[in-house]
Structure 1
Amino acid sequence: MNIAITREGSIGRQTTALRGGFVADDIRMQVFLALGRERVPVESEVFAALFHNSVVSNRAPVRNALAGRSLSFAAFLRLSREAEIPYPLFFAPLDVVEEQVRLKTEKLMSGFTKSSFSMSSRHQVELRDIELIVKDLLRKQELLRQYDQSLVKNDFVGLIRRSRRSVNEDARRIAEALELDLAAVRKPKSKEDALQVLVGQLESKQILVSQSTRLHMPQLLDGVKFSGITLKDKRVPFIFLASGDEKEGFEPPGRRVFTLMLLTVLIAQGTFAPVTYEGHSRDEESPRAYEIAAELLMPTAEMRTLSFNDLDSVLEAANRFKVTPSAAVMRARRLQQIDYETFSAFMDELEASRPGSQAGPRRQPLAVRALKKYNGVECSRRMLGLMDAGHISLTDFRRIVLLNKVAASQIADFRAEVG
């Protein structure tokens, strides 16, 4: 499997096909909505075009309706509300519907480079899979741009765009611009704590970081192979860091450390895109952004002082740099510190020692703590400032920042949690 940056058209692609095998020829001419004893017809192409480009595209009622079963009008209204589609639009002509879908996609894509960034992964990210998260982060960006007068132009955005310098030089420029303190990142015993230190350093430079919190964000990511997003803004670029396929267990913290650095490098390159990243690839080629991220976290000079004689030495290096063992092995191979046979043997051992994919039940964090993680500390503080200054109402703050997950009486608890 070749590691490469791919220019894929999966984001925002227009099609009437539905996930799971439905294509235009399979769809009946009309879908029928049951309203009492009446059957209200909706053109199938309109129904498919609207729901396909929404977060409910793979729901059983949608698929069943396209297969010829009646859908109750009440269920149809619930799906429409969840998909944020005005239900009268389902009765509009197809050309009107297609234009509305195009406009919606264009607006959502305004925060993206028109590509996706894929490394060692055959999985594609569909816009509908992350639509509500994208909308939510763009809404926060817009409010901060409009009202937060303390924000200045962020010179980090596009810092190394079209750079012809060496990987090491670009890594040095990024580290200097961020005032990156690797010693502070490595100091915590746990990689999870190291990740939060790195998040804090990025946020101090007006790079906002949102992290996946399964039940306290606008959209579930169950079954979505997805690593994160970079969202464009001249002052407050946003990073959303996913935890991996949440149905199969969270990504290990060491991989999230590397993914966060990779997303940061993409912002410096001026690339704003959904990212898919497979952490267990054995490919020896890698894109420039990956190499820069590796140099930032595992500098060549330090790597050269280490020996990789056995798996214990690999684990020690991974703990030192706060990355996964496979990332440390990939880096050692890239620097030709180990031959291919040793590299392959290490990867075999690491693959065999991986925990099972079925994760046990996890204790859910307090709502205010989970919302702090999803919004990010810096975004939370700034949004509290907007509310305190009267730029947004308490009701809007609960809706936009707290997602109506906690009562107004708990805002003080949220404020205390954010600090």
Structure 2
Amino acid sequence: MPSIARAQARTHDDGLRGHPGHAMTLDVVLGGVPTAINKAVFTALLDNSVASTYAPYARAVEASSIDFTDLVFLARKGDIPYSLFFAPLPVVEAQIKAKTAKLLNGLTKDTFSVNSRDRVNLSEIELIVKDLLRKQELLKKNDATLTRNKIVGLLGKPEKTVEEDADRLMRALGLSHDAMRSTSNKKKALDMLISRLEANQVLVSRSVNNFMPQRLTNVKFSGMAIKDTKVPYIFLAGGDQGDYQEPVGRRIFTLTLLCVLVARKIFAPVTYDGFSTGSDVGREYDIVGAMLMPRSELRTRDLVSLNEVKSAADDFKVTPSAMTVRAMRLGMVTRDQATTHLEELAREYSQRSKPKPRQPKPVNAVRSYNGREFSNRMLDALDSGRISRKDFCRSVCLNHIKPPQINDFREALQ
């Protein structure tokens, strides 16, 4: 890396030409000696990374000054070579453009929103996207048995009805309505759905804070689908999304929605709000409804009272809010009735007791974040000598487990 003195010379020679005045610069202080850099370079690099959420960034912008150790700290958090802060602005802008293009090659630029007020900034999920993209490449490099994915683009040409689209996708997954409803609870139904996706080379990662490259703090989104012709990755965000729905049923709907998007060749973050009674939800939502709550079977049930809605939601392994909106869209309840139910469900949910989160065992947390299919295939690569134990712990498990724990990790996948 260049010394700070050489970087200083480059900054003054190239980066600050045509930008006179202290307001356009920011001092990097090392050993009490300030070195001026282009403030636009500083903000451009960090605004495009998770590092902008850390306190030293805000202090530096306000004071137009930062200690070199804080600069290095922010650079590491943002996965940015610190020498870039001393580069000319056009060079930095080109680097940012190249990085964004590479990231968005696996993710469409706009958020796919279904009745949501929230949008997702790339910097809020950037490190997770990069890690899942890296995992896709790692798996393709080490597993010659992978084939072209038959789910990707399956619904690129829509059938005449959403029911036909739903049936086609469920047949491809090897999933049936009876199998989902016969599970003993929603957690088992979610596990079944994940297993059918992963059996078809659609990888599923679940959010586990402190075991991912990036914490999801105050980020309101449900999940995302990351593009690949062989192993698309679906990421399910965890925690309370702030829309008053019980988490497991919500994840079943979100996962099914993301599966539909993969089949439609749409790869994007999803911010799904199941409490809207609007009419702009689109075909993807109705395909999910047909997969989880088929019209022919709901027509045999009464869904007027809230207790009837809750009972049906338990039977079909969805949230009561999703059942309410589906019944409304099928004309089984009025919009006013649906709104009344949703308001009551929100009130009940807000009064629930919240269990304290427990820190999972590292082997279980890594299993959830990686997904079983990716983990098992990479264990095969380890067993066949295509990757070392040290590299397995670093590349596959992000160093959250050590080589002596690999057998424990193997057992956790059973």
Both structures adopt the same fold (TM-score exceeding 0.5):
yes
Q: 1:167 — aligned with what?
A: 162
Cα distance between partner residues in 2 of 1:260 and 1:133: 17
Cα distance between partner residues in 2 of 1:390 and 1:243: 34
Tell whether the 8 Å contact from 2:25 to 2:64 is kept in structure 1 after alignment. Answer: no
Cα distance between partner residues in 2 of 1:369 and 1:248: 27
When the two chains are superposed, the root-mean-square deviation of aligned CA atoms in Å is 2.0
Tell whether the 8 Å contact from 1:368 to 1:406 is kept in structure 2 after alignment. Answer: yes
Q: Which moved more, 1:352-361 or 1:171-180?
A: 352-361
The code of the aligned residue for 2:288 comes to A
The code of the aligned residue for 2:149 comes to N
Indicate the SS of the match to 1:151. coil
Q: Does 2:323 match 1:328? A: yes
Cα distance between partner residues in 2 of 1:127 and 1:351: 30
Cα distance per residue 1:302-355 (max 9 Å; x no partner): 101110131110110110111110100111111111122322221221122122
Cα distance between partner residues in 2 of 1:356 and 1:29: 51
Residues 129 and 345 (structure 1 numbering): CA distance in 2 closer, same or farther, change over 3 Å?
same
Return the match for 2:367 from 353, 366, 372: 372
Q: Does 2:409 match 1:414? A: yes
Q: 1:298 — aligned with what?
A: 293
Q: Which moved more, 1:274-283 or 1:199-208?
A: 274-283
Indicate the SS of the match to 1:33. strand
Shift of 1:285: 3.8
Q: 1:17 — aligned with what?
A: none
Cα distance between partner residues in 2 of 1:77 and 1:49: 16
Q: Does 2:105 match 1:129? A: no
Q: Does 2:95 match 1:97? A: no
Residues 76 and 357 (structure 1 numbering): CA distance in 2 closer, same or farther, change over 3 Å?
farther
The code of the aligned residue for 1:303 comes to L
Cα distance between partner residues in 2 of 1:226 and 1:244: 10
The code of the aligned residue for 1:386 comes to A
Cα distance between partner residues in 1 of 2:242 and 2:342: 24
Cα distance per residue 1:117-154 (max 9 Å; x no partner): 01111211111111111111111111222221111111
Shift of 1:185: 2.6
Shift of 1:388: 1.9
Return the match for 2:219 from 224, 227, 245: 224
The code of the aligned residue for 1:45 comes to A
Cα distance between partner residues in 2 of 1:124 and 1:307: 36
**1:223-242 counterparts in 2 under 5 A?**
223-242=218-237
User: Which of these two proteins has the greater Rg computed from alpha carbons?
Assistant: 2
Q: Figure out how many residues of one structure are paired with residues of the other and give that number.
A: 393
Residues 371 and 47 (structure 1 numbering): CA distance in 2 closer, same or farther, change over 3 Å?
same
Cα distance between partner residues in 2 of 1:245 and 1:76: 33
Q: 1:363 — aligned with what?
A: 358
Residues 357 and 309 (structure 1 numbering): CA distance in 2 closer, same or farther, change over 3 Å?
closer
Cα distance between partner residues in 2 of 1:360 and 1:44: 45
Cα distance between partner residues in 2 of 1:280 and 1:286: 11
Higher helix share: 2
**1:20-419 counterparts in 2 under 5 A?**
28-68=23-63, 70-244=65-239, 252-355=247-350, 359=354, 361-419=356-414
Cα distance between partner residues in 1 of 2:140 and 2:216: 28
Tell whether the 8 Å contact from 1:222 to 1:246 is kept in structure 2 after alignment. Answer: no
Tell whether the 8 Å contact from 1:326 to 1:347 is kept in structure 2 after alignment. Answer: yes
Shift of 1:187: 3.0
The code of the aligned residue for 2:358 comes to R
Which blocks of at least 5 consecutive residues in structure 1 are unaligned?
A: 1-26
Tell whether the 8 Å contact from 1:112 to 1:230 is kept in structure 2 after alignment. Answer: yes
Which blocks of at least 5 consecutive residues in structure 2 are unaligned?
A: 1-21
Shift of 1:358: 9.2
Shift of 1:184: 3.1
Q: Which moved more, 1:347-356 or 1:212-221?
A: 347-356
